[in-house]
C-alpha cells in the first residue's frame, strides 16, 4: 500500500536531515506530577533539563499553582517549551482511574476483568461526579456530560469495578 503523499513528503524531509517548520516552539512534554510535591528529580528534571530549561523554575510555579489541591494528587501537566527556553504549562484534572479508585476506596483495580467478582462498586452518582471533574479539562469541555460519564463507566468496568444505578 503506497504512502499518503503528505506522509511521503514528511518522510523525505526527515531523511534529508532538514528540519520541519515549527511555530516558535521547541517542543512539549506531558508529565504526571504529584500536586504540590514537584521536585527537580525524575520525571521533571530529566524531561526539562534535556531541553535546556531550568527545572527549579517549573517546580516553583507548578507547586504554587497546585497548592490548593490535595498534596500528592497525580496531576497531568503539558509543558510547552519555546525556542528561547522559556516555557508555559497547562494543568489538567487527575487521571480518570485515580479518581475512580479514590471514589471506590481501593488501591489497585482488578487485573482480571469480567472473570471474578467486582473488586468494588460505584453508584451512577459517583460516575457523574467524576465526569463533572473531567469535564473541566479543556479538551473535554465540548463533550456532553453523559458521554464523559459513559467513558468513565467503561473505565470502571474494564478495571473490574461494578457500576450500579
Q: Where in the chain is the domain with CATH 1.10.10.250?
A: 96-164
State the fold for domain 96-164.
Answer: Arc Repressor Mutant, subunit A (1.10.10)
List, as own/partner pairs, every contact residues 122-130 make where C-beta atoms lie below 8 angstroms and the sequence separation is at least 24, other chains included.
122/156, 122/161, 122/162, 122/163, 122/164, 123/163, 123/164, 123/165, 124/149, 124/163, 124/164, 124/165, 127/152, 127/153, 127/156, 127/163, 129/103, 130/96, 130/99, 130/100, 130/103
Q: Is the pTM of this model over 0.85?
A: no
User: Over the stretch 9-62, which tens digit does the pLDDT of each residue have?
Assistant: 555 555 544 444 444 556 889 999 999 999 999 889 999 988 888 999 999 999
Q: Where in the chain is the domain with CATH 3.30.1550.10?
A: 22-91
User: Over the stretch 2-21, which tens digit does the pLDDT of each residue have?
Assistant: 545 545 455 555 554 444 44
State the fold for domain 22-91.
Answer: Ribosomal protein L11, N-terminal domain (3.30.1550)
Amino acid at each position: 500500500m503506497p504512502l499518503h503523499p503528505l506522509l511521503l513528503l514528511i518522510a523525505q524531509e526527515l531523511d534529508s536531515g532538514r528540519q520541519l517548520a515549527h511555530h516558535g516552539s521547541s517542543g512539549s512534554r506531558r508529565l504526571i506530577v504529584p500536586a504540590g510535591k514537584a521536585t527537580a528529580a525524575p520525571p521533571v528534571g530529566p524531561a526539562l533539563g534535556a531541553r535546556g530549561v531550568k527545572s527549579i523554575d517549573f517546580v516553583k510555579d507548578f507547586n504554587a499553582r497546585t497548592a490548593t489541591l490535595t498534596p500528592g494528587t497525580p496531576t497531568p501537566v503539558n509543558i510547552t517549551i519555546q525556542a528561547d527556553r522559556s516555557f508555559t504549562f497547562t494543568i489538567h484534572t487527575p487521571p480518570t482511574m485515580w479518581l475512580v479508585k479514590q471514589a471506590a476506596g481501593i488501591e489497585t483495580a482488578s487485573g482480571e476483568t469480567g472473570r471474578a467478582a467486582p473488586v468494588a462498586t460505584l453508584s451512577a452518582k459517583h460516575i457523574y461526579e467524576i465526569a463533572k471533574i473531567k469535564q473541566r479539562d479543556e479538551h473535554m469541555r465540548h463533550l456532553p456530560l453523559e458521554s464523559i460519564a459513559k467513558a468513565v463507566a467503561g473505565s470502571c468496568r474494564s478495571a473490574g469495578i461494578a457500576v450500579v444505578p
